[in-house]
Amino acid sequence: MQVMVVDDDAVSRLALVDLMQKMGFSDALEFEDGQAAWEYLEQNPLPILCCCDVRMPKMSGIELLQKVRADQNIKALSFVLITSGNDRDTVQNAVMLGVSGYIVKPFNAGGAIEKLNEIFANEWKGISERPEATARRLSISQEKLENYYTAFIAQVDQLINMNAFTSDVLKLPDIDGQIDAMKTGCLTLGLWHCSRQLELLKTREDKDDCLELYLSAVNSTVNYQLGLLSHQ
């Protein structure tokens, strides 16, 4: 699964990326300011989480949160602010804007991970079904679910490869139908966030050009689910 880390301080940003990796999120997108992060969000598949510092040049964390919550296609993004201990007014403002949670720095890894897990406990239902819940819903064993995940990854990879070999003259046939098939797979496997992103992809005029980006994000999520399954 993709996560976004936004912080103009390189050390803090690297520490947050390392934190995300400890939690199993190996696909971390790094940005030095809110403006760069916003430009990415406008044009690319939505990550499942944005960890964002409050005080940054060009666009602050609060300003980015405001823009996210005001955009119909982006407002569901889980948004965590990184604040200092004396930013109480900022935290209150962020809560009014709909922030998912906040972490106070300087932070230690154990405390920050515990806080993020609390946030995910509230946010996860809108992101993805837990693998054990998916297995129960489908009335299959977890070993069988692992086969489902693996088969779906192969199906997505096949579509990515098909799209790579098409040209501007020869477009991928029935691209909306192909996206719908992927969306059905996501819904079957409880990948709610991916399903919403694929629905947004269908509305884009440049969907042929950005199909690989969206499908790669789907595979990133399925691989994360596989990782959760292997640790049970």
Mean pLDDT throughout 25-48? 89
Looking at residue 83, its pLDDT comes to 82
Looking at residue 85, its pLDDT comes to 63
pTM of the entire predicted model: 0.72
Q: Looking at 111, 126, 141, which one is the last position of a domain?
A: 126
Same structural domain for residues 141 and 49? Answer: no
Same structural domain for residues 8 and 120? Answer: yes
Q: Residue 33 is part of which domain span?
A: 2-126
Looking at residue 232, its pLDDT comes to 64
Q: Looking at 79, 107, 126, which one is the last position of a domain?
A: 126
Structure tokens at 190: 């409880």
Top mean pLDDT of 13-17, 24-28, 38-42 is at 38-42
Same structural domain for residues 146 and 215? Answer: yes
Looking at residue 169, its pLDDT comes to 41
Same structural domain for residues 103 and 188? Answer: no
Same structural domain for residues 18 and 108? Answer: yes
For 108-131, the pLDDT digits (tens) are 778 888 888 888 777 777 788 889
Same structural domain for residues 107 and 212? Answer: no
Same structural domain for residues 70 and 135? Answer: no
Angle at Cα 97 formed by Cα 91 and Cα 103, nearest 5°?
Answer: 35
Same structural domain for residues 159 and 224? Answer: yes
Looking at residue 50, its pLDDT comes to 92
Distance CA 202, CA 45 (A): 12
Identify which has the larger pLDDT, 203 or 172. Answer: 203
Same structural domain for residues 104 and 10? Answer: yes
Q: Looking at 126, 148, 164, which one is the last position of a domain?
A: 126
**Domain with 39 in it: what CATH number?**
3.40.50.2300
Same structural domain for residues 51 and 140? Answer: no
Q: Taking Cα atoms as reference points, which of 77, 80, 32 lies closest to residue 196? A: 77
For 205-217, the pLDDT digits (tens) are 888 788 888 888 8
Looking at residue 158, its pLDDT comes to 87
Q: Name the domain count of the chain.
A: 2
For 45-91, the pLDDT digits (tens) are 888 889 999 888 889 989 999 999 999 888 888 899 888 766 777 77
For 156-199, the pLDDT digits (tens) are 998 888 776 665 444 556 778 888 889 999 999 999 888 988 98
Mean of pLDDT over the chain: 85
Same structural domain for residues 141 and 181? Answer: yes
Match 């139908």 to its residue by tokens.
177
Mean pLDDT throughout 135-160? 92
Same structural domain for residues 135 and 192? Answer: yes
Identify which has the larger pLDDT, 134 or 231. Answer: 134
